[in-house]
Amino acid sequence: MSEQEQILFARVDNCCYFKLCGELRYTNASGMDDLIERLFSDATPCSQVVIDLNQATFIDSTYIGLLASLARYCQQQQLPKPTLFSTQSEINDLLFGLCLDQAFQIIQQPTHLAPGNVPADMTSIAAQSYSEQEQGRMILRAHQALLDLNDKNKAEFQPLVDLLRQQLN
């Protein structure tokens, strides 16, 4: 992952902050996937999730699926909808086109958190070394989360999910 492609994370008072920067592709999603898996199994779960995409320049369907899995986690834990900040019009078009506005509170503005609420020490999350099989399972989970959002996504991504399942078996 280059310096421009970063996943930054902080947990402050059980509020989980994600700052995703650069080109967000399945090829560099293993760190995010691993972090989400750890958060889901953590004994002290996040009580709120905030995601900042303002410095993201590209996001693929796997990453969108990882975001959808975060939203599903919040829903399962009966937490408020995650808040997602994005000022990138192309990314916003994709988010709304895939109906993520149903699962997130999307704020199309720069992140303006009160000075006391900004996580000072965000940790950079490193990519994990996934085998081809593990990477395939990550892509499958992400796309399954996307198609679980609504029927439109199901129609769009079901053929890919079926193909991935077939290849992984």
Say whether pLDDT at 115 is over 90. no
Residue 128 DSSP symbol: P
Strands 56-59 and 123-124: unpaired
Average pLDDT, the chain: 88
Give the pLDDT score at 41.
83
pTM of the full structure: 0.88
Tens of pLDDT, residue by residue over 133-149, are 999 999 999 999 999 98
CATH 3.40.190.10 for domain 6-128: no
The residue among 120, 2, 100, 114 whose CA lies nearest residue 53 is 100
- Residue 24's CB is within 10 A of a number of other CB atoms, namely 25
The whole-number pLDDT of residue 6 equals 85
| pLDDT tens digits, one per residue of 56-66 | 999 999 999 99
CA separation for the pair 119, 126 (Å, rounded) = 18
